[in-house]
Structure 1
């Protein structure tokens, strides 16, 4: 039996431990730095970093068409044992994951505001959202959002990776049986992200629960050390 698969599995296990350790260390450091009122103050002070009037209706209307091809590409990939579908698209990773929760759709969407789900993601540190249009009930349908999150994977922070800082153009569609948030990267202030486009779907299921689907195309910039060693360790990393 070749030693290469064993070495790759050992490397994956080491990286998994390092990743969780980095997450915990970052969470602790953040908690120690922040006072209770820091989050609101910091969020209010963060600029979007883009010229808001530069994004008109045409850019928002093109968003669904832009993501349609990605949806078709990832739907053709069979899910793994964990239910995750993923593939490379040039140097970016295209992935999709599906899950179902037992909470009825109407209750779920009343409790979880889909226009704010980016702020609920693991590793989210801070950000700012500017709503540009609302529907007749006041819900956001077009917005720009800047999100700042821990390095992904978290262990890259130990090698000097910067936070992931992305400004996204977003649309939200609300229907009787599904809600969809779509986004497309329009700027990365610190150059940490090359590509970050995707969507989150909440859908009513036949069993009375709520289906949640996340699909995204992402490419984040590696720190210099990992840019040097990744070709050597590929495909283990």
Structure 2
């Protein structure tokens, strides 16, 4: 018998154009990016944007997309956050040897491209100092090429730390060159549960909705804990991810070459984890981890957004 579905488990990827259009209309804003198509993929505007992403991503404007999701179910006292799916991923990956330094994965080609990934990195920073400067509830800011995150906190602990929140995340297409192949910018809501233990802090992240259908599933957790020798800190990230294959890649049949897809996937995750873990160190050092050019905040955008970070 499977696990009963909780409110945060119900996310069905829209398979028809009508479903995608309806979903996008509910969450649209001036800064939101709709799902593209083959004609728009080869337009001069799309090609220029892809070049900009590859060569000058610092000139791309940051975004803060409004939270237009009905979050009433998550705010109820009896709401139960389900960690079962990502816990299963962690158990699966324990059985797999490391493929590269600090990284391992399981790739499922029976789907479009579903990946179970685990990355860890030991840094020479005492755990107590790390958690003083790195807020685990804001670790999403460190993910590679995030253009902006809008956050609404639902619950806090006695110390005022977030324990349950929703985030709407905007990020550049990953890997960046996939923008040339018809992959859309990421736009996804994640429901996040924060846990604070004596020797470990964890942020559990669960896909709730992807307004432009750029994400099939992106569930993960990020944890900080003392290294085995007690002198440093272990950074851990585990994820179950599936994204639509780039449309031009599918059109030319490149998606049928499993060896090619695996080679690209390995490279993409290597860059993602190295950059993301590196951004955590930047956050510890008080440096900016933002991608892109700061946006201009006007009254309308301020009224439409929640706890902007």
Q: Residues of 1 paired with 2:120 and 2:60: CA distance? A: 36
Q: Residues of 2 paired with 1:27 and 1:58: CA distance? A: 46
1:85 aligns with 2:104: yes
Contact 2:81 / 2:193 at 8 angstroms: preserved in 1? no
- Between the two proteins, the alignment pairs up a number of residues equal to 208
Q: Residues of 2 paired with 1:167 and 1:234: CA distance? A: 30
What TM-score, normalized to structure 1? 0.80
- Spell out, residue by residue over 1:108-164, the C-alpha distance to the aligned partner (whole angstroms, 9 max, x if none): 011111111111111111120110000000000000011111111111101232101
Change (3 A) 1:97 1:24: farther
1:212 aligns with 2:235: yes
Contact 1:97 / 1:213 at 8 angstroms: preserved in 2? yes
Q: Report what 1:18 is aligned to.
A: none
Indicate the larger mover: 92-101 or 52-61. Answer: 52-61
Q: Residues of 2 paired with 1:171 and 1:218: CA distance? A: 18
Change (3 A) 1:23 1:79: farther
1:95 aligns with 2:117: yes
Contact 2:200 / 2:226 at 8 angstroms: preserved in 1? yes
Structure 1 portions without partners, runs of 5+? 1-21
Q: Give the SS at the match of 2:187.
A: strand
Q: CA RMSD in A?
A: 2.3
Q: Report what 1:76 is aligned to.
A: 95
Q: Residues of 2 paired with 1:60 and 1:82: CA distance? A: 39
Q: Residues of 2 paired with 1:224 and 1:23: CA distance? A: 14
Q: Residues of 1 paired with 2:103 and 2:79: CA distance? A: 28
Change (3 A) 1:218 1:165: same
Indicate the larger mover: 79-88 or 102-111. Answer: 79-88
Q: 1:221 aligns with which of 235, 244, 252?
A: 244
Contact 1:60 / 1:169 at 8 angstroms: preserved in 2? no
What TM-score, normalized to structure 2? 0.62
Q: Report what 1:236 is aligned to.
A: 260
Q: 1:166 aligns with which of 188, 207, 211?
A: 188
Q: Report what 1:16 is aligned to.
A: none
1:192 aligns with 2:214: yes
Once the 2 structures are TM-superposed, how far is the Cα of residue 67 of structure 1 from its aligned partner? 1.9
Structure 2 portions without partners, runs of 5+? 1-48, 262-309
More strand as a share of residues: 1
Q: Report what 1:133 is aligned to.
A: 155
Indicate the larger mover: 128-137 or 63-72. Answer: 63-72
Q: Report what 1:142 is aligned to.
A: 164
Contact 1:63 / 1:183 at 8 angstroms: preserved in 2? no
